Structure formats: structure tokens, C-alpha cells
């Protein structure tokens, strides 16, 4: 723990990011190129993400399963677009023990294949539908450039895979799960993400269409944070997933998949953290409150214990730092680790019937009565922090949101500052490709409910069809 080692965010954003990851002990590089170790502080965030999302998935009728991690090459190849999309980044297992395998197996990059294969032998009638399965697991994509949480060869995720008797139901599921991701970002992660439709070029290989959740980082770079795919009957036809409908006629099922990953931890950091380390919204912080006794006077320790007991009972996660480090060291440690609220209890303050409470997000010091209702006080404070973090993130996002009417606008904007760029589009992939030449600027998503800002394409000037959000991405 050494927050002196954190490069200022405004000086070098990329270095700042990896410094925060290291200083808050979230993750570290490993001896395996491109793979990270998720350390206790980072994994605790993932566990909290899992518990909140998993509860929501189950409330919506989903159940968890576990499909094999290995996929035979012939099975993978059944759906052509999927293979093409993933072939360059698949890891191949060729040997079991000292024996060459008859057929090589890939480490799942995603599991449409395995779920489709399973469903094809387990569905007979409309009575078996829908199947609303999800799994929490690891996947591998053989990325060339990697960065902790944002892009690593192995990462953790959840992948939901559902099949339905009707198109309507499957499309509703696709949308519903995107709404869950949006809710999770706005309400829990305090990230004002924007959702919409991916273009044909950017959609998932094999999908009819892809909905995406796009977050904007502090530096104006976009991070795709959750996607939900509607497959129609594509996989059903490739893997022969049929059911007898109410009229006892065989039909192909309608399918969806949707996923979020440990990458969201990277998003959390890049939206909220600062030069002093990690800053976490209270709803996702594994530890919400730290209580630090200054000195070891009995009165001090007694009050600390009382606070801890009362807060714990109210389901506020808190701990007392009674290690033998100095108070200053403990303050800095709690700060770099992003504990939302720090309560300092010292003898001198107690003599004046006060304690000090420090907000991590604003670093504001509050002096308050030592005999107040600690649960009420902290509850309000945590809510305030959560709300204000969202508002600050939204303000930052809005500051970094621009409008472009032609290519020069995009160039001017991106020469100055990355951000979300609103711009109309004719729908021609050639225009998308041309825009990408400007610093790799890509369509983030098509915004469906927004007003048009122009009637001509930002690139070619022809009639515009879509209101698109553009931006540079991680």
C-alpha cells in the first residue's frame, strides 16, 4: 500500500489506472502472459457484483447450470459466423496427458455452442420452454494486448442462454436483460451508461442483433459493459433445436444470450477513482465503513465496538482497523482501498463528545456528535454518496458528450477530447469504416428513442437513417 506511487490521473490516465489497480491490490500480473491474478480486494468486488446480479437473474426466473469448458472443434464449427468471429482468439487443447487427442478441443470463448448442443437433446415440447439458464464461469480469448480487468486472456463472466417458443418472448428477454444491466450500472455502480443497438458491423458474430450497454470513462473513452443478443433461430437451425408447438408441429426455438464480465471492475475504477486510489459507490463496496480508533483508550475502543455492532446489525458492512499501524497509515490505507466512509474515534474528540467522519468520494471531513444515532447517520451518508457519485459521473459524461454534423466535427472533437459523439448515419458500412479511420472511432450504438440531430449522414452527407453514438473504445 503506497498511494504516493499513484501517477496523477490527468498526467497519464493509462498509468494512473494500473497504479490504482496495484495500489488498491485489486489485481496483479501473473507468470502467464496476458492472464491476471484477481486479488482479495478485487475478487470481493466481483463477489458483490455476482450476488446482486445473481439475485436479480433468479427473481426473473433464471437458474444456474455448468456446461463443459471444452468444446470439440466439429461442434464449434456448426455455426459458421460464430467460428469466424472467434477463431483468431481461441485457445486449443491438443493433448490429454501424453496422448494426442483425436479431435482438438477449444477452451470456451463463449458457450452458445454448448448450450445449443444441450438444448437440442433436451427439448421436446412447448411445455419444456422457456429454458432460462445462466452460468458464472471463466472464458479465454487469446487477446494480443491485455490490461487488468479491461482485456485479459482469461476473464470471469456470467453468460445467460435462453430459448423460447416465440420470437416475441425471446426479444422481450433480450431487452429485459439489457434493462437489468442498465439498472445495475445506474443504480448499483453509479455509472450513467447508455444502451442501444449495435450496428451490423459491431454486433456479436451469429446474432440477429445485439443490444449493448456503453459506459464512458473519466477520460472520455467508452467501455462496452454488457451485451444482450437476440439470435432468432440461427443457432436453433445450426444445432437442430426443435420443439413440438401447441399444434404438435415441429418448430425451431428462438434464442438469446447475454453477458457481463470482470471488465466492469475496470469501468468502476475508470469512472469513479481519483489520485488517492480507489473510490467505490457504497452499493458495490465490499466494505462500506471502516472504524479507526485513535489510541487504545478503553472509552475509544468501547465506542468503536458499539458502532460496529450497531452498523453490522443494520446490514452495513464495516470493520474496525485495530492493527498496530499508525492512524495516519490506516487513513491512507482505507483511502486507497476506496472504503466509502471512515469513522475516526479519538480520545480528545470524545472529550468534546464528537467524532470525525470522512467521505471517501469527496474526502470531506465531517465532525459530528459521538452520541448520535450512528445507523441513521451512516445510512443517510451512504445514500448521499451513492447519489452524488452518480450525479458527478453523469455530469462528467455530459461534459464529454458532443455533437458532430460532419467528419471534420468528429476530427476536431477527438483531436481535443475523447467522448461520446452524437452523429447521424446513413447505414452504409463504408461510412462506419471511414469514421473508424479517425483515431479508431467506432459506432457505440444506435440510439432508438433519441431525436435526430440532423437529416444527413455525418460521413457522406446522404440521407441519414440512424442516430448513432460514436466514440473511441477500450
Nearest approach, Cβ of residue 66 and its own copies (Å): 4
Nearest approach, Cβ of residue 69 and its own copies (Å): 6
Q: Give me the phi and psi of 5, to 5 degrees please.
A: -80, 0
Q: How far is CA 228 from CA 65, 181, 195, 205, in A?
A: 19, 9, 10, 12
Residue 154 interacting with its own copies (CB under 8 A): yes
Nearest approach, Cβ of residue 191 and its own copies (Å): 23
- Of the two residues 133 and 231, which places its CB atom closer to its own copies in the complex? 133
Residue 137 interacting with its own copies (CB under 8 A): yes
Residue 43 interacting with its own copies (CB under 8 A): yes
Q: What is the dihedral of CA 227, 233, 234, 239, to 10 degrees?
A: 110
User: Are 188 and 165 in contact, with CB atoms under 8 Å apart?
Assistant: no
Which residue is listed with cell 425471446? 170
In whole angstroms, give the CA distance from residue 364 to residue 353. Answer: 20
User: Are 246 and 350 in contact, with CB atoms under 8 Å apart?
Assistant: no
Q: Which of 10, 14, 61, 87 binds its own copies (CB under 8 A)?
A: 87
In whole angstroms, give the CA distance from residue 302 to residue 47. Answer: 32
Q: Which of 93, 314, 376, 380 binds its own copies (CB under 8 A)?
A: 93
* 194-197 vs 466-471, strand pairing mode: unpaired
Maximum CA extent, the chain: 81
Residue 197 interacting with its own copies (CB under 8 A): no
Q: Which residues contact 318 (CB under 8 A, 6 or more apart)?
A: 287, 288, 289, 290, 291, 307, 308, 311, 312
Residue 89 interacting with its own copies (CB under 8 A): yes
Residues 156-185 that bind its own copies (CB under 8 A): 156
Only one of the segments 89-97, 211-219, 329-337, 379-387 lies at the binding site for its own copies (rule: CB under 8 A); that segment is 89-97
Q: Which of 70, 205, 350, 453 binds its own copies (CB under 8 A)?
A: 70
- Of the two residues 101 and 350, which places its CB atom closer to its own copies in the complex? 101
* 318-320 vs 341-346, strand pairing mode: unpaired
Q: Which of 6, 24, 53, 67 binds its own copies (CB under 8 A)?
A: 67
Nearest approach, Cβ of residue 261 and its own copies (Å): 12
Among 292, 289, 377, smallest CA distance to 331 is for: 292
Residue 382 interacting with its own copies (CB under 8 A): no
Residue 246 interacting with its own copies (CB under 8 A): no
Q: Which of 49, 53, 71, 407 binds its own copies (CB under 8 A)?
A: 71
**Cell representation of residue 450:** 433519441
- Residue numbers of the site for its own copies (CB under 8 A)? 28, 30-32, 35-40, 43-44, 46-47, 63-72, 75, 87-98, 104-105, 107, 114, 117-118, 122, 133, 137-138, 140, 142, 153-154, 156
Amino acid at each position: 500500500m503506497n498511494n504516493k506511487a499513484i501517477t496523477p490521473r490527468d498526467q497519464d490516465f493509462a498509468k494512473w489506472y494500473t497504479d490504482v489497480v496495484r495500489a488498491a491490490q485489486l489485481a496483479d500480473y501473473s507468470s502467464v502472459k496476458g492472464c491476471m491474478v484477481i486479488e482479495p480486494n478485487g475478487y470481493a468486488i466481483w463477489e458483490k457484483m455476482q450476488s446482486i446480479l445473481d439475485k436479480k437473474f433468479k427473481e426473473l426466473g433464471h437458474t444456474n447450470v455448468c456446461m463443459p469448458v471444452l468444446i470439440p472443434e466439429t461442434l464449434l464449427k456448426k455455426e459458421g459466423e460464430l467460428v469466424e468471429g472467434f477463431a483468431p482468439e481461441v485457445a486449443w487443447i491438443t493433448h490429454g496427458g501424453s496422448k494426442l487427442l483425436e479431435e482438438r478441443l477449444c477452451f470456451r470463448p463463449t458457450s452458445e455452442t454448448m448450450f445449443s448442443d444441450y438444448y437440442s437433446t433436451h427439448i421436446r415440447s412447448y411445455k419444456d420452454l422457456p429454458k432460462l439458464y445462466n452460468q458464472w464461469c471463466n472464458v479465454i480469448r487469446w487477446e494480443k494486448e491485455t490490461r487488468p480487468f479491461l482485456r485479459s486472456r482469461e476473464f470471469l463472466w456470467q453468460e445467460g442462454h435462453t430459448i423460447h417458443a416465440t420470437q416475441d418472448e425471446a426479444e422481450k428477454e433480450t431487452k429485459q436483460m439489457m434493462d437489468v444491466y442498465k439498472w445495475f450500472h445506474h443504480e448499483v455502480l453509479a455509472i450513467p451508461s447508455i444502451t442501444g443497438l449495435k450496428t451490423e458491423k459491431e454486433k456479436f458474430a451469429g446474432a440477429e442483433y445485439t443490444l449493448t450497454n456503453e459506459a464512458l470513462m473519466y477520460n472520455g473513452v467508452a467501455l462496452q459493459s454488457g451485451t444482450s443478443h437476440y439470435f432468432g433461430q440461427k443457432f436453433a437451425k445450426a444445432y437442430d433445436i426443435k420443439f413440438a408447438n401447441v399444434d404438435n408441429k415441429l418448430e425451431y426455438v428462438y434464442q438469446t444470450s447475454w453477458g457481463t464480465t470482470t471488465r466492469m471492475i475496470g469501468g468502476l475504477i475508470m469512472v469513479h477513482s481519483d489520485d488517492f486510489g480507489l473510490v467505490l459507490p457504497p452499493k458495490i463496496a465490499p466494505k462500506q465503513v471502516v472504524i479507526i480508533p485513535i489510541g487504545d483508550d478503553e472509552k475509544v475502543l468501547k465506542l468503536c465496538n458499539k458502532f460496529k455492532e450497531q452498523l453490522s446489525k443494520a446490514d452495513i458492512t464495516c470493520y474496525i482497523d485495530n492493527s498496530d499501524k499508525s492512524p495516519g497509515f490506516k487513513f491512507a490505507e482505507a483511502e486507497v482501498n476506496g472504503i466509502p466512509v471512515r469513522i475516526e474515534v479519538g480520545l480528545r474528540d470524545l472529550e468534546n463528545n464528537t467524532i470525525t467522519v470522512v467521505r471517501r468520494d469527496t474526502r470531506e471531513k465531517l465532525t459530528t456528535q459521538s452520541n448520535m444515532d450512528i445507523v441513521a447517520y451512516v445510512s443517510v451518508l451512504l445514500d448521499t454518496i451513492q447519489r452524488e457519485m452518480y450525479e458527478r459521473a453523469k455530469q462528467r459524461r455530459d461534459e464529454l458528450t458532443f455533437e458532430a454534423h460532419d467528419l471534420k466535427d468528429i476530427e476536431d472533437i477527438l483531436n481535443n477530447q475523447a467522448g461520446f459523439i452524437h452523429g447521424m448515419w446513413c447505414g452504409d458500412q463504408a461510412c462506419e469504416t471511414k469514421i473508424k479511420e479517425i483515431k479508431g472511432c467506432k459506432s457505440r450504438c444506435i440510439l432508438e428513442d433519441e431525436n435526430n440531430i440532423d437529416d444527413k449522414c455525418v460521413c457522406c452527407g446522404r440521407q441519414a437513417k440512424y442516430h448513432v453514438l460514436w466514440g473511441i473504445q477500450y
